[in-house]
Amino acid sequence: MGEYIIRRLLFGLVVLLIMVTFIFVMIRAVPGDAVTLQLQEAGAASEEQVAALQAELGLDKNVFVQLVDWVTGAVQGDLGSSFWSDRPVVEMIAERLPITLELTFISVVLAILIGIPIGVISAVKHNKFIDHFLRLISVGGLSVPNFWVGLILLTFLSLTFNWMPPLSYQPFTVDPIANLQQMILPAICLAMTLSASIVRMTRSALLEVLHSDFIRTIRSKGAKERIVIYKHALRNSLVSVITLIGLQVGYLLGGTVVLESIFSLPGLGSLIFETVTLRDYPVVQASVLVFGAMFLLVNLIVDIMYGWVDPRIRNS
Amino acid sequence: MQEVQISSQSQVIVRKNARTLKFFKDCKRFILTQKVGSISILFILFIVLFAIFAPVIAPNDPTAQNRDAFLAAPSATYLMGTDDLGRDVFSRIVYGSRISLIVGFASVVISLVIGVLVGLISGYFGGKIDMLIQRIMDAIMAVPALILALFIAALLGPSIQNVIIALVVIEIPRFARIVRGEMLRIKEMNFVEASKSIGSSPLRIIWKHGLPNTLAPIIVLASLTFGQAIIAEASLSFLGIGTPPPNPSWGLMLSNASRYMESAPWLVIFPGLALSFSVLAFNLLGDALRDFLDPKLSS
């Protein structure tokens, strides 16, 4: 198992390196850069000024020299500093990342709490009215854009209860209640889409297991239906549900950007969004890198969890 | 000689007729077995008609500003009210369907063609080519899709064309992965070996055996991706890096509406409904196609 994890981590690092190179080259290939933008702000710029600023930001070097420099720094934990504020990028990300992580975490927990029980009901009442109804709801949940639900919730709450979530962000450690008040609505919106996929996956996986031979055996020895479903069938269908959650975390992380913007949460997604237009290369590169790393880690954790859920995989 | 040619031509025609006949039979079976799917197709046709005949259906110019009716509530003159510049929301939604459909269609078709080619090459040749292509696909998929789209769209600047480029990049690996997997599976099968041994060219093997087998999953994926592309376009436009104003993109309308949530809730409701129902239609169609094309999956 240890060897497997190390191999996966190395593989992930290679993928991240290719990805960062892609981002690195692309952001420099597209017209517009921080130097021009900054000097534009200051007014007319002479060629010497441009050259001086380029040298200061390290943009006068060959792209691949820049890439090697940046990667060497990144490996040592130095992601450079912002072209605009001169703050260390590590510090900026450390400030934003917890917000995105908290939002994602709450959404995943909510989605599991909602999705799995509904999926079980749907499978147990296979082809009954309630099953058709729940299936329709879950396709709906996949189709309705979650940021629209966010807007509707905000409109509804402010029109009927005159309540708005606090607009300035409070870290959980400073003011947990204000923090949760601000997190809960975007988390519900994000959880909506994920729980809809979980319902569908739980239902189809459970149906498949419920039709298998060993379930018939367990039933025939007189086990209670509740035990058949929760102890035997559900556990066997969890592998596919966990895989799904791992894959869907990508959608979830992507969705955080729009919801962060609606609910004025200064998360990591908003950081990319704010800094791409400013051509703040170090910040953009590092933020995309962190998103990639999170996504790969989640999928690694999912693979490790397989073994925990399914002893056959653990032993092979 | 003449006769031989004629007979081979007529053979082709017969074969074509048989194929058309089979197509119609399949359509009939689809309508009979997939009620929800058929309704979704009707609904999608309805949206397409809306988009084509927008100038006839929309009562007003979608960008015309009416100074006498800022934020007017829905009424007989303005079915869905007006926005902060006095533009008719209903007309904007009708015209907005064009943007959603164009972005969805263009991004799905382009990424499908590129993705299928990439997947075929990767799966058929294997080895170093496969290795290289797969690492690039992995790198694209390593970043959450919307984050990558956001990066590309923000970098290139707001325009419909750039939204399509961003979506194509994130959609290619999905098609490539399915086709590659299928190619790897088929390559080992006996009939492909046989084909090879009688001297069929790689191109012929891919065309005759590779593509037909991947058709079903590709069609399903295309339908589901179409819906996701519509949502992604709306999300990017909502953030201000997608379709530029004054185009009536549904996402852009929602972004504008968020400033008038309390005074003009209709601005929030109608574009969102249009988005949701369009995406729902494509998702339901995708589900129906999956049930129809792969009976194994629908127990």
Report DSSP state, residue B72. P
Token digits of residue B186: 């088929």
Q: A62 is written with which tokens?
A: 């060959």
Cα–Cα distance for residue pair B89/B82, rounded to 1 Å: 5
Determine the residue type at A171.
P
Q: What is the pTM of this model?
A: 0.89
Q: How far apart are CA A192 and CA A210, in angstroms?
A: 27
Report residues of chain A scoring pLDDT below 50.
none
Looking at residue B205, its pLDDT comes to: 77
- E strand or H helix at B205: helix B202-205
Least CB–CB distance from A257: residue in B150, B227, B265: B150
Distance CA B127, CA A291 (A): 30
From chain B, the residues in CB contact with A250 under 8 A are: 141, 144-145
CB atoms within 10 A of CB B103: 26
Which of these, B256, B246, B245, B250, lies nearest to B231 by C-alpha position? B250
Candidates B35, B137, B147, B298: best to mutate against A (most CBs of A within 10 A) is: B147
Query: How big is chain B, counted in residues?
Result: 299
- Whether the pLDDT of residue B175 is over 60: the answer is yes
> Nearest CA to CA, how far is B16 from chain A (Å)?
38
Q: Is B265–A159 a contact, with Cβ atoms under 8 angstroms apart?
A: yes
Distance CA B82, CA B215 (A): 45
As a whole number of angstroms, the distance between CA B61 and CA A295 comes to: 45
Instruction: Please check whether residue A152 touches B, CB under 8 A.
Output: yes
pLDDT tens profile B279-297:
999 999 998 998 888 755 5
Q: Using DSSP, state whether A158 is helix, strand or coil.
A: helix
Q: Give the CA angle between residues A282, A285, A290 to the nearest 5°.
A: 120
CATH of domain A94-314: 1.10.3720.10
List the single residue in B with minimal CA-CA distance to A269.
B147
For A151, the closest of B142, B227, B258 (CB atoms) is B258
What long-range pairs does A126-129 form, CB within 8 A, spacing at least 24? Answer: A126/A207
CA dihedral B271, B274, B278, B280 (to 10 degrees): 100
Q: Which residues in chain A are closer than 8 Å to B231, comparing Cβ atoms?
A: 145
Which residue in the set A23, A139, A272 is minimally distant from B284, CB to CB?
A139
Q: What is the pLDDT of residue B299?
A: 39
**List of residues 6+ apart from B112 with CB closer than 8 A:** B171, B175, B218, B222
What tens digit of pLDDT does each residue of A44-77 get? Answer: 667 778 788 888 788 888 888 889 989 988 888 8
3-state secondary structure of B239: coil
- The tokens describing A268, both together, are 């990591």
Mean pLDDT across the stretch B180-195? 81
pLDDT (average), residues B71-79: 77
- Residue of B132, B151, B237, B270 best to disrupt the A interface, most CBs of A under 10 A: B151
* Domain boundaries, given as residue ranges, for chain A: 2-75, 94-314
Best B155, B165, B279 member to test A by mutation, with max A CBs in 10 Å, is: B155
B137 vs B120: CA distance, rounded Å = 14
The answer to whether ipTM exceeds 0.85 is yes
